[in-house]
Structure 1
Amino acid sequence: MQKTTISLKRLVPGLIIGPASWLGPYIAMNSLFLPALLQHLDAANKVNLVALFSTCGMIVAAISNMVAGMLSDRTKSRFGKRAPWIIGGAFVFMLAMILASFATNIPYLLTAWMVGQAALNFIVAPMVAWIDFADKDSRGTASSAYGGLGMALGNNGFNVVGAMFLSQFRLGFIIFGIFTFIGTLVAVLIVHEPSNIDDTTEETAAPEKQKFSLKEITSVFPGWSTGRDYYLALIGKLFQGVGNFAITGYILYIMTDFLHRGSQTQSSIQLINTIMLIFGILMGFIAGPLSDKFKVLKWPVGLSTIFLAIGAITLFLLRDNTGIIIYAFMAGIGMGVWNSLDNLLNLEVIPDPDRVAFFLGVYNLGNTVTQAIAPVIAALVISVFGFSAIFIVSFIFSLIGGISMLCIRSVKR
């Protein structure tokens, strides 16, 4: 069967609006509103509670992401295989965040947050597979739209606005939850997936009988000899993600407890995210098209993590406005290049092209799972060495992530 393609005129706007609509609100809530609410509910245990929420979120995200990817790959509907799950996930996420805003105790908040984590991954796994709808020679542009522009807006643009709601964090949960649903719906309408009811590929064809043997279950993930480059990309994604989120996940506490910004906390967070947004968008505009033109992919992705490492060390050493600006500059370039091209690199090393949503979804757990792993690691090192240790963690993990990417063999450069 001929591969379904969608025009870049529809795909690119959807790949920008879509990830910005789910990632932006999630980043703002995860890095600002959730810590603020936890501090309000139990200030004495706030660091450990962030780690608890992150650990539980990691488990829920890992399971729901794989389930969402498999279901999406096997779905047949007049709205396509991705859209129904994306819309459903966005709606449940909105409801969960509205419920979280009314939390008056930790168990209630944890329950609502976990429901939101599960729903979020039913957006993520199918949506990133939209990149595969692009023509072969335009996938760099599509990947850049998703990661370089959409995720740059999500990672940094919303925190600028989110910082304004630090004193009204409960309202922030509601507003950003609603925005997720509306923005995601707009993206789905723009992309407008074609019907795949008549699709007769192996993944969507209903088998007469399904037997779930141990061999079938273990074959979900291929062996190292087959999936080596995919696993290296996944390792790189996870380590780079921890390196990034070890700092961004604790940015509020870094500003208040480490840099002692006091009344300048809000303006400092806005400054970092504004600079990162500008450079992230700039890289989003140029990284993908340049990759398509010069056929270079692995090296810019691998080397982009060096910028993150330099930024982390600089902030640790200077601890002033200059350090904040240099960190934002380095992280903006590094994350801009990374977000623009890492999904495309992963698409090139997927071991089974018939399970695009599943493998891309697992890979993109790096955007949610690493936000769960990083605070756990950060909480551990903070308790032993203090806040300064998370910058060393960021430096080391970022370098390991880059080295893993550079070890990929099937993509030459």
Structure 2
Amino acid sequence: MKKVTIPLIRLIPGLIIGPGSWLGPYIVMNSLFLPALIQHLDAANKVSLVALFSTMGMIVAAISNMVAGALSDRTRSRFGKRAPWIVVGAIAFMISMIWASFSTGIANLLIAWMVGQAALNFIVAPMVAWIDFAPEDGKGAASSAYGGLGMALGNNGFNVVGALFLSQYRLGFVIFGIIAFVGTLIAVLIVHEPSNLEEKLEQPAKKEKVSWSALSTVFPKWSIGRDYYLALIAKMFQGVGNFAITGYILYIMTDFLHQGSQTQSSIQLINMVMLVFGILMGLLAGPASDKFKVLKYPVAYSTIFLAIAALALFFFFRNTTGILIYAFFAGLGMGLWNALDNLLNLRVIPDQDRVAFFLGVYNLGNTVTQAIAPIIAAAVISIFGYSAIFFVSFGFALVGGICMLQIKSVAR
């Protein structure tokens, strides 16, 4: 069976617009609008409630991501195997965020948010598999477009605008829910997957009972999937290190740094600096990786910049200078990581017939770690205070880099 290849002239714009369109609105709502609405509904329990939403979101995201990836891998349609699920997920995500905007109680908001988490992962798991449609000599550029430019746009670009809606967070849910749908749809139309109706699916010889051996065909044992699992562990640790800070950035600005009326402008400043570095790395890192055949080392060493950023606000300056130092190093580290980590994961996938499944599980690092990090951060805050978050971020980022360096199948 001939492998589907999509020209970079179509694929790269889709890989920039697509992840930016789902990640940007999600980041804004997760880090700004959701905490603001929770604070409005139950200010006394806001920290523990953010952790509750994160815990439930992690469970829903993990399940829905694996289901979405597996369904996508086995889909045949005139619109390809990824596009139908991406569009359905985008519609459901938009509706759930509009639903969340009208929530008048924590229970209703929690249900809407969980539906949104499930819908989001029906976008994420199939979309990241678009990278595999790139020509072999352009996969670095494709990964850089998705992780570097698209993720930079999503992680930081939208927050600059999102901060303007801090006082109108209910309206923000509606607007950014619609943006997610429209942007995702545009990306699907640009990529324009070809029909795969002629693609044959491998059928199992017979139905097997649920057993450890059957489960091992879904998740290969360590000796087979070692490098993939190391990359996944690294992604989780790096993600927690990053999101432990960004998940509580609103409360850090107000309760730790006491920015007061400067909170909005400080958040915008961080995201503008990180956006610039994210775009810069997105433009340079992928093509440089393709040219110099280096991949593992820049991804692993990017965590050093994240570790430095984590300590900047605590050890150096608890003011605008400290915020700039944090933004500089975090932007450099995240830009480099996002530009190349999906390509590295593509190199260590243990089963090339299930690309969407394994890339989708790997990319749980973008959703599940945003759920895990606030849980850890909430516990740390309640025991040691806000300053301890930065030490947690420092430690997790370094462990992520060490795990990445242990990968053997990617030499450098």
Shorter-chain TM range is: over 0.9
Instruction: State the match for 2:123 in structure 1.
Output: 123
Q: Distance in 2 between matches of 1:194 and 1:316?
A: 51
- TM-fit CA distance, 1:116: 0.1
Deviations 1:89-145 (A, max 9, x none): 000000000000000000000000000000000000000000000011110000000
1:237 equivalent in alignment to 2:235: yes
Alignment-mate amino acid for residue 63 of structure 2? I
User: Could you tell me the percent identity over the aligned residues?
Assistant: 77
Instruction: State the match for 2:217 in structure 1.
Output: 219
Q: Distance in 2 between matches of 1:114 and 1:105?
A: 15
Kept after mapping to 1: 8 A contact 2:27/2:154? yes
Alignment-mate amino acid for residue 324 of structure 1? I
- TM-fit CA distance, 1:315: 1.1
- TM-fit CA distance, 1:395: 0.2
Extract unaligned runs of 5+ from structure 1. Answer: none
Cα 1:188–1:212 change in 2 (3 A) is farther
Instruction: State the match for 2:376 in structure 1.
Output: 377
Partner residue of 2:256 out of 251, 255, 258: 258
Give me the CA root mean square deviation. 0.9
Q: Distance in 2 between matches of 1:96 and 1:208?
A: 40
1:279 equivalent in alignment to 2:277: yes
SS, match of residue 3 in structure 2: coil
Q: Distance in 2 between matches of 1:341 and 1:330?
A: 17
Q: Distance in 1 between matches of 2:100 and 2:92?
A: 12
- TM-fit CA distance, 1:210: 3.8
- TM-fit CA distance, 1:292: 0.2
1:353 equivalent in alignment to 2:352: yes
SS, match of residue 219 in structure 2: coil
- TM-fit CA distance, 1:218: 3.3
Instruction: State the match for 2:390 in structure 1.
Output: 391
Q: Distance in 2 between matches of 1:210 and 1:179?
A: 43
TM-score, normalised to structure 1, is: 0.98
Q: Distance in 1 between matches of 2:176 and 2:210?
A: 43
Alignment-mate amino acid for residue 200 of structure 1? K
Instruction: State the match for 1:17 in structure 2.
Output: 17
Extract unaligned runs of 5+ from structure 2. Answer: none
Instruction: State the match for 1:296 in structure 2.
Output: 294
Q: How does 1:321-360 map to 2 (within 5 A)?
A: 321-360=320-359
Q: Distance in 1 between matches of 2:237 and 2:118?
A: 22
Aligned residues: 410
Instruction: State the match for 1:368 in structure 2.
Output: 367
- TM-fit CA distance, 1:213: 3.1
- TM-fit CA distance, 1:208: 7.7
Q: Distance in 1 between matches of 2:97 and 2:207?
A: 37
Q: Distance in 2 between matches of 1:219 and 1:274?
A: 44
Q: How does 1:9-88 map to 2 (within 5 A)?
A: 9-88=9-88
Cα 1:12–1:78 change in 2 (3 A) is same
- TM-fit CA distance, 1:212: 4.4
Q: Distance in 2 between matches of 1:387 and 1:338?
A: 26
TM-score, normalised to structure 2, is: 0.98
Q: Distance in 2 between matches of 1:196 and 1:308?
A: 41
SS, match of residue 218 in structure 1: helix
SS, match of residue 218 in structure 2: coil
SS, match of residue 219 in structure 1: helix
Q: Distance in 2 between matches of 1:173 and 1:61?
A: 19
- TM-fit CA distance, 1:32: 0.1
- TM-fit CA distance, 1:382: 0.2
1:167 equivalent in alignment to 2:164: no
Q: Distance in 1 between matches of 2:369 and 2:26?
A: 13
Instruction: State the match for 1:182 in structure 2.
Output: 182
Q: Distance in 1 between matches of 2:287 and 2:325?
A: 27
Q: Distance in 2 between matches of 1:179 and 1:353?
A: 33
